[in-house]
Chain A
Amino acid sequence: DAGVIQSPRHEVTEMGQEVTLRCKPISGHNSLFWYRQTMMRGLELLIYFNNNVPIDDSGMPEDRFSAKMPNASFSTLKIQPSEPRDSAVYFCASSLFGVSYGYTFGSGTRLTVV
């Protein structure tokens, strides 16, 4: 199994631009999570999905952030418009809810907004 795959690994963009981060969970996993990691706030849960349905998006910082999961093998996190304070490492994780609670994390996307 290739694990959780995130793309791109690094993204540098200018303030105001739209940014789309992508995630492919482990095949067969039914839960997907988006986290953000910064020095200021540590690891923050942004949103999570069960069976492709968003369950809790209370961690999404503001309306500029949106996440979708159109099918079981793909999710996106979009920031529009991006701001310098969005600079962080964004992690996607997946798990098999009801069987194992342990997450498998991807390698993350390091986003820099200049």
Chain B
Amino acid sequence: GESVGLHLPTLSVQEGDNSIINCAYSNSASDYFIWYKQESGKGPQFIIDIRSNMDKRQGQRVTVLLNKTVKHLSLQIAATQPGDSAVYFCAENKDTGNQFYFGTGTSLTVIP
């Protein structure tokens, strides 16, 4: 029979355009968030993080925005390149420990 799996949101962008990937998190008490990038056949790789006392944080070509009111995170990638094609996950730190819980991910495809 047909297997049922997660319906991974997908995003296709032209090379050079900006990408915006969104994530809704679950726990209003979460105080730390990380975006990870996972390429095919590899483990997730840290991209950028943000704490709940911030609304915005910028890295090299990436910006993370945090809206605590609606429990929403976004990752903006400037001048998207083919090497940015991957699945992107947001992860939240819900508890006082250091374990993170991951969202379902968004698949980004960059069209040359």
Q: Please pick, from A41, A43, A101, the residue contacting B93 in the complex, using a CB distance under 8 A.
A: A101
Contacts of A103 in B (CB 8 A): 34, 44, 46, 100
Is A2 among interface residues, defined by CB-CB distance under 8 A?
no
Q: Contacts A101-B32, A101-B34: A55 and B43 contacting too (C-beta < 8 A)?
A: no
Label chain B's interface by main secondary structure: loop
Mark contacts of B72-112 with chain A using CB atoms, 8 A cut-off: 1 yes-contact digit, 0 otherwise.
Answer: 00000000000000000100010001111111110000000
Is the CB of A25 closer than 8 A to any CB of chain B? no
Q: Does B70 touch A at the CB level, under 8 Å?
A: no
Query: A108 to B6, Cβ gap below 8 A?
Result: no
Residue from B6, B41, B43, B99 in contact with A91 in the complex, judged by beta carbons closer than 8 Å: B43
Known: A101-B32, A107-B42. A39 touches B6 (CB 8 A): yes
Instruction: Report how many residues on chain A are interfacial, defined by Cβ distance under 8 Å.
Output: 27
> A87–B101 Cα gap in the complex (Å)?
21
Interface residue A45 (Cβ < 8 Å from any Cβ of B): yes
* B43:A48 contact, CB within 8 angstroms: no
Closest-CB distance, B81 to chain A (whole angstroms): 22
Contact indicator per residue, chain A 87-104, by CB within 8 Å of chain B (1) or not (0):
000010101010001111
A-B contact pairs, 9 of them (CB 8 A): A40-B3, A40-B6, A43-B105, A48-B98, A55-B99, A101-B34, A101-B93, A101-B98, A102-B46
- B residues sitting closer than 8 Å to A (CB atoms) are 3-6, 32, 34, 41-46, 49, 89, 93, 97-105
4 interchain residue pairs of minimum CB distance: A105-B43, A39-B5, A43-B102, A102-B46
